[in-house]
Amino acid sequence: MRRPLEMARHVYTWFIYNIYKPLSTILYRQAFNKMTITSNIIPRKNHPVSRNLISPSALKVMHRLHTKGYEAFLVGGGVRDILLGHQPKDFDIATNAHPEQVHALFKNSRLIGRRFKLVHILFGREMIEVATFRGQTSEQNEKQSEHGMLLRDNVYGTIEEDAIRRDFTVNSLYYSPKDFCIYDYLNSMNDIQDKQLRLIGDPETRYREDPVRMLRALRFSAKLDFEISPETRDPIYEFAPLLGNIAAARLFDEVLKLFLSSHALSIFQNLLKYGLFGPLFPQVHQTLESHNRASFYIKLIEAGLHNTDQRIRAEKPVTPAFLYATLLWPEVDRIWQQLKSEGVPDFPALQQAGQQALHAQVQHISIPKRFSLMMKEIWEYQIRLQKIQGQRPLQLIEQPRFRAAYDFLLLREQAGENLNGLGKWWTDFQVKHPAPVHHKSRKPRFKTNNTDSHDKDDKKRSRPPRRRKFNQG
């Protein structure tokens, strides 16, 4: 019985990768090349994009490219955000100049990227990204993984081809500072007016090429308050598992973009809705699905993300360590309770639970050590904060991680966990005993010109020199 099943599996795999995949790629490329490109040029009087709203550094880059005979356009989020009345976060430029040509024009630039080369031009802390127009790929210059994900795609083309190669229609608008017009090749202005987020091309193939586009769809939808179009939304349920093929280091950055966008709560709910949370946090997702405390865990994550959104909107700092400590707590707590039931003492059980949860998670999302160490401290302090007798509270309040651990304690209570009023006790204690400032001023390494300080230093006895020991022989 086992042999026929193995043969059927081999036949199915052979069919998928030798017939279905090549055929679907050919048909998609033919349909992609036949996409209707209608150049809609919108004059300055019909749009609100002005040079006064664009970074002077971006204008300087486009001006130099123009003077050297190249085309240069502001593209993507910069144009989109200005049209929506938002302050753009980045100003990206598209040009027909190749990366090496752009790099030669700017001494303050650097070449980056493997799959598609880009140029980063630095103006102090501001960075302007310049990309060459992308063209249509062919089987000779395209490299894909076995799952259809693009691994190399270094093909240059025209502005019309570049517009088709972008991810969403709202990101395919081009502004020229030469004639002050917006160039719209895919009726993107209609989608902006209708508040529709639409993927360019065949969604199934585009998701296979880069599964991260599914995360970007949720992020842009929440950020712009746009509705995802049905043809863009429906395939997400099927292709969500493809996120498991993305490098763990890249997913760390993408998850931070999701949850530090000031819309973390709504994005988390949509990740669960569309089946995208599971590939990112498999163990946590399984706990949320099956554990008897699942409702509490979901409330805790939602409360933590709500607090994160409020801090970002108030322009307060947020550390990724606290964010990931919140997201992984359901799995840590589950393992912790299990180990305690097996007879492991409280504190070692929590340490082992944190280590096991982190080890399983970094297989999917790589978490830098500087954050994972802080996460462990936040978790372990949940036990230390229970010790409120004698001088222990005064010692704890002086520790650098106390504030983050205290906030996490309040978060647990906010989600409905009964900690016997521990959060209120620590709140009252801090009112009576304010926490010290950790960046204490150090004594000067060198003597000052103040005569009083000279007198005090003269009175101090210097440390006698250490005696040398000689071998007697």
Which residue numbers are catalytic?
90, 92, 167
Cα torsion 11, 12, 16, 17 to 10°: value is -40
By DSSP bridging, strand 118-123 and strand 126-132 are antiparallel
Structure tokens at 269: 């709910």
Question: From the centroid of its chain, how far is CA 63?
Answer: 32
Count the residues in the chain. 473
* The token pair that represents 398 in the structure block: 């002086």
Strand 182-184 and strand 40-42: the pairing is: antiparallel
Strand order in the sheet with 72-75: 40-42, 182-184, 173-175, 72-75, 92-95, 126-132, 118-123, 109-112
Please check whether residue 89 is in contact with residue 80, taking contact to mean a CB–CB distance below 8 angstroms.
no
Give me 407's structure tokens.
């906030």
Nearest to 92 by CA among 166, 11, 187: 166
The Cα–Cα gap between 322 and 307 comes to 11
Kindly state the helix (H) or strand (E) to which residue 428 belongs, with its residue range: helix 422-432
**Positions of E strands within 259-403:** none
- Assign 3-class secondary structure to 336-376: HHHHHHCCCCHHHHHHHHHHHHHHHHCCCCCCCHHHHHHHH
Distance between CA atoms of 46 and 43, rounded to whole angstroms?
Answer: 6
Q: Which helix H or strand E contains 203, and what residues bound it?
A: helix 203-209
